[in-house]
């Protein structure tokens, strides 16, 4: 995967993979919908000069659901979505402090049928992300 450098052309469009599957509320997602300077509509439509069009993949804001929603996450984990920004909202649970079960997950692994924990998503996505942003507490 080619990384961005000073000599790279401007990014025209960027995906934002937003995970809310932590141990917290979705307050930042809700606050984003009320923003006005700029508004989420201006960001998504690419209406702000010199900024790329943003494609948000947030479980509360997306019109896609299920496997259709998770498709971009799986592509990004395979290194097939570039560039993208990974946003993690809320607390990240420690999945190693118990003998079985899990605290938080998003979707299921197609090869095992098991839930994909928030920690697994971070491990799969962060190495490929253009940037990783933590929001919330």
More confident residue, 86 or 51: 86
Q: What are phi and psi of 121, to 5 degrees?
A: -60, -45
- 66-77 and 118-125 are packed helices; what angle lies between their axes, rounded to 10 degrees? 40
Q: What is the pLDDT of residue 69?
A: 95
5 pLDDT more than 90 = no
2 pLDDT more than 70 = no
26 pLDDT more than 80 = no
Which of 18-27, 86-95, 103-112 is least confident? 18-27
Q: What are phi and psi of 135, to 5 degrees?
A: -130, 150
- What pLDDT band is residue 121 in, cutting at 50, 70 and 90? very high
Q: What is the pLDDT of residue 117?
A: 93
Q: What is the pLDDT of residue 3?
A: 63
Whole-model pTM? Answer: 0.87
| Rounded-to-integer distance, Cα 50 and Cα 115, Å | 39
List of residues 6+ apart from 67 with CB closer than 8 A: 107
Q: What is the pLDDT of residue 67?
A: 92
């Amino acid at each position: 995967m080619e990384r961005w450098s000073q000599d790279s052309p401007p990014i025209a469009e960027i995906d934002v993979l937003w995970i809310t599957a932590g141990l917290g509320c979705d307050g930042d997602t809700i606050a984003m919908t009320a923003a006005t300077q700029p508004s989420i509509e201006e960001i998504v439509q690419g209406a702000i000069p010199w900024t790329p069009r943003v494609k948000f993949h947030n479980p509360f804001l997306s019109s896609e659901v299920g496997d259709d929603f998770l498709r971009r996450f799986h592509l990004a984990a395979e290194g097939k979505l570039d560039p993208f920004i990974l946003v993690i909202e809320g607390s990240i649970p420690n999945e190693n402090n118990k003998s079985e079960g899990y605290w938080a997950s998003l979707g299921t692994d197609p090869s095992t049928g098991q839930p994909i924990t928030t920690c697994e998503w971070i491990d799969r996505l962060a190495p490929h992300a253009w940037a990783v942003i933590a929001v919330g507490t």
